[in-house]
Amino acid sequence: MQGTAWKVHLSYGMIHPNYIYNEADFILKVKLAIANPLVAKRWDDFEVKHAWTEIPRGWELHGPAPADYAFDLRIGLKQDKFEDLVTTLYEVSDPAHEKYGQHLSKEDVAALVAPHPDTVDLVESWLSAHGLDPSACQRSHAGDWVTIRVSVAQAEKMLGTQYNVYRHGKSDDYVVRAMNYSLPSVLHEHVAVVAPTTYFGTMKSMKATSFIQKDRPTIETDADFAHLLTGPASLATVPTSCNSVITPACLRALYNTTSYAPAATDKNSLGIAGYLEEFANRADLQTFYKRFRTDAVGTSFTTVEVNGGLDDQSEPGVEANLDIQYAEGISFPTPNIYYSTGGSPPFIPDDETPTNTNEPYLDWLNFILAQDSIPQTFTTSYGDDEQTVPIDYATTVCNLFAQLGARGSSIMFSSGDDGVGGGDCLTNDGTNTERFQPNFPASCPFVTTVGGTIHVNPEVAVDFSGGGFSNYFAQPSYQATAVSTFLQKLGRTNAGLFNTTGRAYPDVAAQGENFQVVVGGRVGSVGGTSASSPTFAGVIALLNDFRLSRGKAPLGFLNPLIYSTGAAGFNDITSGSNPGCGTNGFTAGAGWDPVTGLGTPDFGKLQALIGVHMADHAYASWVPVCTLAANACSRAPVHIAVHADVLQIRIIRSDESKKVVPAEGAPPRRVEQISQDPAATRGVRKPAWIVRGRSLRRRGEERFTATTHARPDHRGSKEEGGDAAAGFDANQVI
């Protein structure tokens, strides 16, 4: 059609029907904006959106940005129904809620985060007033992000600011940034953030130690454990060599995943976010497999290049190889996807600005959210000091993670490698007050943050494990009880150095030191919570496989689960600390703490806890509780998250007969007692349970393997009606 401009928004894969403009209409809008003094004045009525009082620490002014330097300006529009999205996120993530597991589709999420039409109209008028064509914008799927190419001169006029080139003294990076930016007052309630503006960013991988070649005896494969493991792995069966050298076999034994065989690899995947030109190397992965995971030799990962990211196999990255080798090493054969994220093209370096001006978090998140199908589990080993990230930018990025959670993805982040803070720990608000320094996105309440441990028999907190309390995000309700308990025990220790009402982290932990990694064909040792996050993510990927293979939804946003019924599935870490800022930091202890969170995962326990929930309406499913052949029920109480007023128990022989054995007298083992579990029951509508067993050694008795199973007894529940005595009631000896 003559006179009509059609623009396909390549960055996000589709064009919105509302964003096709007639060229004549656009020219008319510009003329009206210029001719109308009231409109022109409105766009000059600036209010500050964000400002630094001084150049962020570590950066120095290099000089003014060239006026004709062009870059992509991103405008984040206020989302019309974001509160509804958060409400839904918590509902589908709460194992006690009837909507548990009912995650949203891409279109459902888009409908909740789309901007109000008035917001779209105002932003388009603002662009037109500055001579920019709204039809030239790239738009996110939901329309909540608008990206347009501008010059420095145009951006300065639009935002009432001045752009300069700044250099980072340590990394020698150069970026085009502003010390402040403003928006017309009429836009303040409609625009959440504009970037790049005041986010200088010091994104770094959470890798505490460099690649160091070591020659130590290692437990390299699962076969090395064969002579040690006579039943499910436990701390007692993990060799002491794993105290100094960590391999996938160590982790699989330590976190009890060795015997699990994934069965939903056609439905389940694990995504690894890569930044800073870190490339995962396939040849190194094969070398790693040949030494540490022989059953995986010949398989590999998929690389997805995001916004100019590369897949350079000639430059293996230590961080990238660490992430992919341990995510794969634990979750195999679950498909792994490595996202190599660069800046948004086109970008042409010059002498003044040799590095990109765009923020990779936004690039990666908008790319992922535009996909129809996304991995059920993600891990990221990068972060910033929270105070170096403008609060409007941090809030916007954090809200994007909420969208991923609502779609059913579990998001893991490393907690950081500076304990409670590195360096001088002074605030950058102009007061230079000494405070602990939290990390972002670790401090975002919509991600699961992973701290670090070291050693086995027992595990203890590693001293660099990042942990603390956000100064940006309020403490979410899901962790209020756990954090309150910790603060009561803490008393006045470190008073005034942290925000007691902020989002507390980490949520969980995993090993974080002495990881054997192959880089350039050589085996070396690497440490940091960069190792902890992919390790924990590998365990979660297996749990998602377990649920998907049973026809259930993936776990999605983990935190409401792990702070309630899921807490019983973790190994509590009760020693160690995370010093920093000239202090001893926090100390690990019983229950949640800001060093190792709730502890490290036990796959077997978590598998039982997530198998059946009241909200799943899975009354027909029996959950394996414990295997009686090894007398597992009697060694310790077995906690199960079957939420019901009344519990049914049955024992099934594991031989060919599959005979159901009466629970009250099953030779040679039997269930001795079931009772309510107060700890796991707290905060949910119906009780969880403890199952105990007993061994009977009668002469001449038939020997066989049997497994105890349990399910809610809806026949005897108060909601269903009927006789409660028909099932086994609380504290009944059977």
Please give the span between the terminal C-alpha atoms of the chain, in angstroms, as a whole number: 81
CA-wise closest residue to 60 among 154, 172, 193, 156: 172
Q: State phi, psi for 625 to the nearest 5 degrees.
A: -100, -55
Residue 591, annotated as binding a ligand:
yes
The one catalytic residue in 124, 133, 323, 677 is 323
Residue 610 is classified by DSSP as H
Q: How far apart are CA 391 and CA 428, in angstroms?
A: 13
Tell me how far CA of residue 105 lies from CA of 85, 102, 283, 297, in angstroms.
12, 10, 37, 35
Tell me how far CA of residue 608 lies from CA of 388, 528, 639, in angstroms.
42, 30, 8
CA-wise closest residue to 191 among 136, 125, 132: 125
Annotated catalytic residue 530: yes
Q: How far apart are CA 451 and CA 595, in angstroms?
A: 7
CA-wise closest residue to 687 among 96, 126, 88: 96
Q: How far apart are CA 668 and CA 395, in angstroms?
A: 58
Annotated catalytic residue 323: yes
Q: How far apart are CA 666 and CA 706, in angstroms?
A: 9
The one catalytic residue in 319, 602, 677, 713 is 319
Residue 573, annotated as binding a ligand:
yes
Residues 6+ apart with CB under 8 A from 65: 152, 163, 164, 165, 176, 352, 353
Which pair of structure tokens corresponds to residue 340? 């190599």
In whole angstroms, what separates CA 80 from the centre of its chain? 25
Q: How far apart are CA 437 and CA 419, in angstroms?
A: 9
Residue 160, annotated as binding a ligand:
no
Residues 6+ apart with CB under 8 A from 644: 614, 686, 687, 711, 712, 713, 714, 717
Specify whether the CB–CB gap between 524 and 247 falls below 8 A. Answer: no
Q: State phi, psi for 479 to the nearest 5 degrees.
A: -115, 5
Residue 593, annotated as binding a ligand:
yes
Give the three-class secondary structure for 341. strand
Give the three-class secondary structure for 377. strand
Specify whether the CB–CB gap between 152 and 68 falls below 8 A. Answer: yes
Annotated catalytic residue 54: no
Tell me how far CA of residue 440 lies from CA of 394, 486, 521, 536, in angstroms.
8, 22, 33, 19
Which residues define the annotated binding site for Ca(2+)?
572-573, 591, 593
For the annotated catalytic residues, the residue numbers are 319, 323, 530
